[in-house]
Structure 1
């Protein structure tokens, strides 16, 4: 079978940086410290590393294998790829529905997630400018943030700049566009993160000798066994969810990037390198910034009556307040307290967030562009701007409907966990475990230990079911309002139609005969 020549990664370094950029996002520097702070500090780190070893690494390998396998047939999207893998165990007509469900989940998720994630990236771009100009330095940072969100012209400006740059990068292709952009952004991201972490390490006690960065490091790295024992289910759920979220698993975008590999390109060591770069950014750099910095400046951001109750109460207060808003309200308060140096460090912090968000968003943007290009035969130069239009429309409810973003995010967390479970069902079980193991080692630069096979087959699915059950219970307990419901239903329906069409278009003959005809 003769396939069209697809774009390829120009260098191994470019691929690894792109994959790392996909994984390293706002979750590393905002969501991770939030989860640590709200789940007992050191109590969180124990199940976090367990989840990394038994869930994060196995599913990462699965998605690399699936992506390279789909790329062999000229596919960079999940619908056709998972159809091909499922037909190893199922007849084509049955395999079709596994492909349709997987493709539906992936395409709808990349639209819904990026519809609000791009706004967060836009906020970071705005605050980079606000920091360097000192716009919030003579105001209450919390009020300033509220006023910024209410100023739709400013919100659209920085959101629009971010989306236009994304469209330009993706429109240039994989090797000439995405790879070149991440080769600049990723090194800068690490440099900025190392500068901030280094500053925090030498900061000491900038406000009060009773409060220093060591208190923050101790909070993160001292195992809190009593808290873990009393809140085991809650902390395990948070830890597995964070591993899953931070590695960008269950979105289809790792498979998309891996589809641009050659059939003999390594996926075993490359997948492990992606995990390692992400964890260094998250645990070492992300864990060394926000919480220790907030702790050192606690007298400036914690109410006096809470401070009077002692360090444990103050740290608990910081943990409760940690979250998305903390990055744009309390940390700016810290930068204001630094004086003139705060403008520089504030700009570095928010540029770091912008780079991290941009390199993740670009992967989701490329997934939809590849879908239009490969499944619907729309030129990349045109498809790029059609995706721009889709994100523009889907991003409007985030600005104009209160609570929409939180509801969309809750559904996204559930859906990406569900898709990761489909990764294991289709790309391991239906593809057949022996086939998967062989594909994992095809051209590999390392041999995966044999004892990892039962982890992939049995332990990883169980650890995926834990957050899946927990999130489903939370979703059932809460009510999605109609704007979010409509968006979810419409996107799922369109995703199913597109996936069905893309599979039928290329594999019509074997679906009609219900037997495998096309093999590469």
Structure 2
């Protein structure tokens, strides 16, 4: 490994907050959060989600930022610097970087769907079409491998163009442009929802708890999403933390990121459910809510083409700001641990992610008969591995390490340096007991429900 160059830093606090918020705010906020809220009954689920953000998401985010800022290294190099190259704790870094790569490869394909729907919105493809025809467009897209590959390529090129520019001139600069636009678009859709005929129903569904609709599965879903939505366990926050000024208030910075991320999720829920109720449709549409139900809703509203353009532009921007953080987490590893230059590392990893993403784009067409494991196509298997196993496992190991094995003096000093030392007792209690227990429970049930124990037993038998 070559001698490490001086560490890049964020040019400003705002630059870091927008970049970290951009990493956290993605399709999980605008696509997944509304549909899982709809599936789990609304208000009570939202309340559990908010509590989970506070006691699981925020403490682990602070822990990851601490590790990055303390070591000034990528996720793998951070644990090497703290514990040595042969330490088993390095597994947390390796798992998180592996998760970042896998998610980056298939996330780009899903992001390509948003570009396709943005293109169709610009052409006004939804107006005047029957609901069945609009809903069928998504099936037509997933059945079209070459078209998905085209958008997958376009999206990955956009990510590469930003990451190759570096921390300040690439990631920070573009997040300062993209994130304000994203917020403005979200406010526009939110206000449209508030002034729609279904506004009261949408607000009541989101914020009036009905605990009779809350199930143990709903609680686990809320816990899991609180972890996923903040980009935890995927090396991004450790990497972004490594570019953070040592005098920055970690509590304040983390809270701002969490607040922006949560606000966007709640606004997206209100915006979507309000217009869904306004045309007498049901909120529990599942994963097809965004790509099937919402285009149908917009086709029935005055100014629907404009709203569709705004909505899918918002989705595309959210996907872009998230995916650049996944790519940067991998690029930082090659720069820090292998001595590669940024341009070479960025181009190599973007190209590799594109190639690995090809089977994802072909999973529901040319490769639909190829079942990777347990009857799952490549896309579903990759998502299962990364989202259900690697992310919570990385987060669990990190929480246990920081809560039980990393020097408490170093942790406290990290908080004292930014003037947040007063929060140390509460944070340390959460990261030591509550957060790892919650993530362990989520991981156990993810493993149980997806049949991993049965697969292992079959292999051993």
Relative distance call for 1:355 and 1:446 in structure 2 (3 A) is farther
State which of 448, 451, 458 in structure 2 corresponds to 1:473.
448
* Alignment partner, residue 359 of structure 1: 321
Q: Does structure 1 retain, via aligned residues, the 8 Å contact 2:402–2:431?
A: no
- How big is the shift at 1:20? 0.4
Q: For residues 216-365 of structure 1, what are the structure 2 equivalents within 5 Å?
A: 216-228=202-214, 231=215, 233-283=216-266, 285-298=267-280, 302=281, 315=282, 318-319=283-284, 321-323=285-287, 325-339=288-302, 341-365=303-327
Q: Does structure 1 retain, via aligned residues, the 8 Å contact 2:236–2:329?
A: yes
* Alignment partner, residue 398 of structure 1: 360
Q: Does 1:78 align with 2:75?
A: yes
CA distance in 2, matches of 1:406, 1:353: 21
CA distance in 2, matches of 1:106, 1:226: 37
* Alignment partner, residue 98 of structure 1: 89
The alignment covers a number of residue pairs equal to 439
Deviation string, structure 1 residues 226-250 (Cα, Å, up to 9, x no partner): 222xx2x211101101111111111
Q: Does structure 2 retain, via aligned residues, the 8 Å contact 1:268–1:446?
A: no
Q: Does 1:113 align with 2:76?
A: no
Q: Does 1:382 align with 2:344?
A: yes
- How big is the shift at 1:407? 2.3
Compute the TM-score of the two structures, normalised by the length of structure 1: 0.80
Relative distance call for 1:149 and 1:378 in structure 2 (3 A) is same
Q: Does structure 2 retain, via aligned residues, the 8 Å contact 1:193–1:352?
A: yes
Q: Does structure 2 retain, via aligned residues, the 8 Å contact 1:196–1:345?
A: yes
The structure with the largest alpha-carbon Rg is 1
* Alignment partner, residue 515 of structure 1: none
* Alignment partner, residue 436 of structure 1: 411
Q: For residues 442-461 of structure 1, what are the structure 2 equivalents within 5 Å?
A: 442-444=417-419, 447-448=422-423, 450-461=425-436
Q: Does 1:185 align with 2:178?
A: yes
Compute the TM-score of the two structures, normalised by the length of structure 2: 0.90
Q: Does structure 2 retain, via aligned residues, the 8 Å contact 1:241–1:467?
A: yes
Relative distance call for 1:82 and 1:223 in structure 2 (3 A) is same
Relative distance call for 1:373 and 1:83 in structure 2 (3 A) is closer
* Alignment partner, residue 507 of structure 1: none
Q: Does 1:64 align with 2:38?
A: no
- How big is the shift at 1:449? 5.8
Deviation string, structure 1 residues 111-148 (Cα, Å, up to 9, x no partner): 11111111111111121111021123354112212222
* Alignment partner, residue 125 of structure 1: 115
Relative distance call for 1:102 and 1:40 in structure 2 (3 A) is same
Q: Does structure 1 retain, via aligned residues, the 8 Å contact 2:193–2:272?
A: no
CA RMSD of aligned residues (A): 2.1
CA distance in 2, matches of 1:447, 1:251: 29
- How big is the shift at 1:184? 0.6
Describe the SS at the equivalent of 2:450: helix
Q: Does structure 1 retain, via aligned residues, the 8 Å contact 2:141–2:148?
A: yes
CA distance in 1, matches of 2:104, 2:86: 31
State which of 139, 148, 153 in structure 2 corresponds to 1:155.
148
Gaps of 5+ in 2: 369-376
Deviation string, structure 1 residues 324-345 (Cα, Å, up to 9, x no partner): x221111101111125x11110
Q: Does structure 1 retain, via aligned residues, the 8 Å contact 2:76–2:97?
A: no
CA distance in 1, matches of 2:123, 2:454: 42
CA distance in 2, matches of 1:5, 1:153: 43
- How big is the shift at 1:28? 0.7
Q: For residues 479-518 of structure 1, what are the structure 2 equivalents within 5 Å?
A: none
CA distance in 2, matches of 1:390, 1:93: 26
Relative distance call for 1:103 and 1:446 in structure 2 (3 A) is closer
Relative distance call for 1:381 and 1:189 in structure 2 (3 A) is same
Relative distance call for 1:174 and 1:479 in structure 2 (3 A) is farther
Relative distance call for 1:66 and 1:477 in structure 2 (3 A) is closer
- How big is the shift at 1:477? 5.8
Q: Does structure 2 retain, via aligned residues, the 8 Å contact 1:268–1:441?
A: no
Relative distance call for 1:143 and 1:478 in structure 2 (3 A) is farther
